[in-house]
Structure 1
Amino acid sequence: MRRKRIVIGALGMALATSMALCGVSRSDTAGRRIGVAAFSDWRADDPGLWRKIAPQDLPRPLASEPKASRSEVVARPDGILPKTLAGFAIETFATGLNGPRVIRVAPNGDIFVTESPAGRVRVFRLSEGTIKPEASEIFAGDLERPYGLAFYPPGPDPQYLYVGTVSKVLRFPYKKGDLKATGPAEVVAALPGDGGHWTRDLAFSSDGKTLFVAVGSKTNVADGHARPSPAEIAELEAKNGVGAAFGPERDRADVLAFNPDGGDKRVFARGIRNCSGLRLRPKGEELWCVVNERDMLGDDLPPDYATRVKPDGFYGWPWYYIGANPDPRHAGARPDLADKVTIPDVLFQPHSAPLGIAFYESEQFPAEFKGDAFVALHGSWNRGTRTGYKVVRLKFKDGQPTGEYQDFLTGFVLDDAKVWGRPVDVAVAPDGSLLVSEDGNGTIWRVSYPAK
């Protein structure tokens, strides 16, 4: 049963807070699709359903014909809301945004979001004691598709807001409570910005000594690039590690590391095709990213993934995927790398396009959610039938990922051709609710518990 509640006012950009209970047929523990059964499409999505995919479950390359099938994004139909688990509530936190992407919560509780197509960073000030926006301001504008955000130094009193743009890491002066930048942007570091994947997410180590920057590949699988000679490989790997990116891909398909001032650039991890979401796990030094894997190997290959980013780790791109599985487009090219590939922690249905991750350490949700993570799946294009377009929950046990993930927020797909929402990022609000940005209709959704 679904009951509508009152729509509460508007602010600036129609910051609606229409709320609805979203009861669903599944309980928190009902329904599992393990192994090959986990490969499906949007019709099987249902809040509460668990999936688990392991490396041994993968089909052979080109078991199905690769297809380009982009979704048509339409306006949200009247009366339609996302679906979530029974007992949770869903409401709009903000509407009318221009391509909202990464969400970060400032130490004082202000909500920052990048509106990438509009080239700006927006900030919401919450009404005291509530999760309702009372103000909305443009913190900074005229930026080159801003994406990642990070406050520095980590802790209660940051001095800067760092912004990842396509070709640069910038920082603005910031003190707690600022709604607008009080000074011009300073260029911290230059990044490869000449085409290809453009998202640049950011994260700081807990001690603030290291800035991590995710840089996606320029091409699908180093398409058309001249393969390096043995001498070039030796030079590259001596500097940047085993499996280092080459040619036009240099410093791409990597997680880079810098000092906070942009000095001492180094490659922290390699072979990560497009790490669009980068987060430090709370209460530790585990760096995590969610990764868009390669295209054109079939509907069910290879899985996208979420993983711990291990120092000096190599994740296979472009030569291998999910362990020692060779990409047929590079078959036999680098046999020396086959036993050096780090296998990711959680495998998603291929072409789900994970973009954002957040760890849940708050108290509002039921106790079994604490220590788990949420991931936003933006949705497929290189697949015959839709997958993704939802938010899932990653299960952890004793601090370790189990490899299972659960449908948490679904309902954005209308049919095989049309969708009305594309989740991008997730963040835990000051009160413990979950904020979800989606750039199809320019909305930030809020999921809370219990429903009242």
Structure 2
Amino acid sequence: MGAEMDFLARVTAIVGGTMVLLRRVNAPGTQAFGANPSIPEAKKQGIMTLKMPTAKGWEPGQTPKAAPGLKVNAFASELQHPRWIEVLPNGDVLVAEAMQQGRPPKTLFDKAAQATMRRARALGTSANRITLWRDEDGDGVAERREVFIEKQNQPFGMALVNGTFYIGNTDGIVAFPYEDGATRLTGEGRKLVDFKPDGHWTRSLLVSPDRTKIYAGVGSLSNIADEGMEVEEGRAAIWELDLETEKARVFASGLRNPVGMAWEPTTGALWTVVNERDGLGDETPPDYLTSVQDGGFYGWPYCYWGQIVDDRVPQDAALVSRAIQPDYALGGHTASLGLCWMPEGTLPGFPDGMVIGQHGSWNRSTLSGYKLVFVPFENGKPSGPSRDILSGFLAEDESVSYGRPVGVCIGPDGKSLLMADDVGDIIWRVTAA
């Protein structure tokens, strides 16, 4: 980081610290969690709270804290900002290594935010590759590393269907020929769908249970359509790609930044985790986990948590009237990104439910997230409070982060979880103790 950016980051930390202390006085005492959360009344912040711990990484021998009955080990290390994971049928583990890249800052706040994000290792030069990791002796640690593909455009989501490998780059979905057991993609890629890049840049992918469609999460460019709705067209949405016709459409909209997606097997419903808007308070509105309906509209940018109007935004009453309330609140600004379905029996003591990688907040007076959590399900719906699976990613004084959870998936053995940590540059593996 250059001297000017380093100075700006330090000044921002001082000014931001003062704002944080002032806002902490009136901060809500509890987080907005669950199916019926208590969401405080919006308080426009003007200058948004800007608080992000310095990225430190893990000391030798230091690990996240696993829940009772579980243990954690490093499956793969020395990556470059690992974000998303895909397990192939032969047990190979693919990891997308990519990072947000800064747009030219337009305001002093933009410059301050970018300086702070660089200090937190959330902004920088993207590796733009996918690496393959193979645990050849079955001890839970990968011995073999290969470059599966490189020179992509902020790759994130991955999917394999019938000999074709799909990559969710920030500017679209690309398809490559794939042979079973291959350690590298060698053919030319075909671009099937175009997405607008920048802003919320991640493009997660999820294959339908019948293997005929792929769903892609595409986040908004801005916080609340700050640059108008024209540039947001096709964004803040989940897209559906028909693999036979190779035609794509918006499946659901009004989702500010839908990242992880998963199928709930009892009902067959698609679920996602969504990062909500900034600038209205520590818990307002909460990020959320929700089922997603075909054609459904979920409020952004006009309203949140159903039909609570955001009066900072020019309104569309017709859209507000049909905004769907999410199913389950995940706390304000937890940056819930990773999502996977975990069947009962995967980890001891855990029933059916969803596992969520909470990347952690940067914009509230007391930080939130920085955990891998579990939400139990019954009859196709969340059925109780969340539980921690991994914690300890954030120092107690909130000054530094050792790691930040992102993508999560079931391990090749069906009895473990793999989780990407983009500050620790590690893939963690969680198993029974």
Mark yes or no: TM-score above 0.5.
yes
Verify the 8 A CA contact 1:346 1:404 in the aligned structure 2: no
Query: Superposed, which structure 2 residues align to 1:254-269 within 5 Å?
Result: 254-260=237-243, 263-269=246-252
Query: Superposed, which structure 2 residues align to 1:37-56 within 5 Å?
Result: 38-39=30-31, 52=34, 54-55=36-37
**Aligned-partner Cα distance in 1 for 2:75–2:252:** 36
Structure 2 match to 1:139: 148
**Aligned-partner Cα distance in 2 for 1:379–1:439:** 12
- 1:204 to partner: Cα distance: 1.7
For structure 1, list consecutive stretches of 5 or more residues without a partner in the other structure: 1-35, 41-50, 153-157, 226-245
Matched, 1:395 2:376: yes
Query: Superposed, which structure 2 residues align to 1:291-370 within 5 Å?
Result: 291-330=274-313, 333-361=315-343, 363-366=345-348, 368-370=349-351
Q: Which amino acid aligns with 2:368?
A: T
- One of 139, 148, 165 as aligned partner of 1:161: 165
- 1:382 to partner: Cα distance: 1.1
Structure 2 match to 1:426: 408
**Aligned-partner Cα distance in 1 for 2:62–2:36:** 34
Structure 2 match to 1:4: none
Q: Which amino acid aligns with 1:209?
A: T
- One of 345, 354, 369 as aligned partner of 1:373: 354
Secondary structure of 1:329's aligned partner? coil
Structure 1 match to 2:203: 200
- One of 125, 129, 133 as aligned partner of 1:120: 129
- 1:404 to partner: Cα distance: 2.6
Residues 386-436 of structure 1 show CA distances to partners (whole Å, capped at 9, x for unaligned) of 111111101112332126312221101112221110111111112211111
Residues 323-351 of structure 1 show CA distances to partners (whole Å, capped at 9, x for unaligned) of 110012026x2233333111112211111
Q: TM-score, normalised by structure 2?
A: 0.82
Matched, 1:411 2:392: yes
Verify the 8 A CA contact 2:166 2:173 in the aligned structure 1: yes
**Aligned-partner Cα distance in 1 for 2:286–2:384:** 13
- One of 176, 195, 203 as aligned partner of 1:191: 195
Verify the 8 A CA contact 2:45 2:279 in the aligned structure 1: no
Verify the 8 A CA contact 1:38 1:52 in the aligned structure 2: no
RMSD (CA atoms): 2.0
User: Are the structure 2 counterparts of residues 138 and 78 from structure 1 closer, same or farther at C-alpha, using a change threshold of 3 Å?
Assistant: closer
**Aligned-partner Cα distance in 1 for 2:91–2:344:** 14
Structure 2 match to 1:177: 181
- 1:132 to partner: Cα distance: 2.8
**Aligned-partner Cα distance in 2 for 1:63–1:191:** 31
Verify the 8 A CA contact 2:75 2:141 in the aligned structure 1: yes
Verify the 8 A CA contact 1:305 1:345 in the aligned structure 2: yes
Query: Superposed, which structure 2 residues align to 1:176-255 within 5 Å?
Result: 176-193=180-197, 195-225=198-228, 246-255=229-238
**Aligned-partner Cα distance in 1 for 2:39–2:322:** 19
Residues 266-325 of structure 1 show CA distances to partners (whole Å, capped at 9, x for unaligned) of 110010000111223346632111111101111111100111111111100000100110
- One of 98, 106, 109 as aligned partner of 2:80: 98
- 1:448 to partner: Cα distance: 0.6
**Aligned-partner Cα distance in 2 for 1:85–1:189:** 41
Q: Which stretch has the larger CA shift, 202-211 or 136-145?
A: 202-211
User: Are the structure 2 counterparts of residues 403 and 341 from structure 1 closer, same or farther at C-alpha, using a change threshold of 3 Å?
Assistant: farther
Verify the 8 A CA contact 1:352 1:377 in the aligned structure 2: yes
User: Are the structure 2 counterparts of residues 283 and 133 from structure 1 closer, same or farther at C-alpha, using a change threshold of 3 Å?
Assistant: farther
Matched, 1:151 2:153: no
Q: Which amino acid aligns with 2:277?
A: R
Structure 1 match to 2:4: none
Q: Which stretch has the larger CA shift, 97-106 or 337-346?
A: 337-346
Q: How many residues align?
A: 376
For structure 2, list consecutive stretches of 5 or more residues without a partner in the other structure: 1-27, 99-125
Secondary structure of 1:337's aligned partner? helix
**Aligned-partner Cα distance in 1 for 2:239–2:431:** 35
**Aligned-partner Cα distance in 2 for 1:298–1:276:** 22
Secondary structure of 2:73's aligned partner? strand
Secondary structure of 2:383's aligned partner? strand
Verify the 8 A CA contact 1:355 1:377 in the aligned structure 2: yes
Q: Detail structure 1 runs of 4+ shifted over 6 Å in the superposition.
A: none
Verify the 8 A CA contact 1:189 1:262 in the aligned structure 2: no
Q: Which amino acid aligns with 1:169?
A: I
**Aligned-partner Cα distance in 1 for 2:389–2:331:** 15
Q: Which stretch has the larger CA shift, 426-435 or 266-275?
A: 426-435
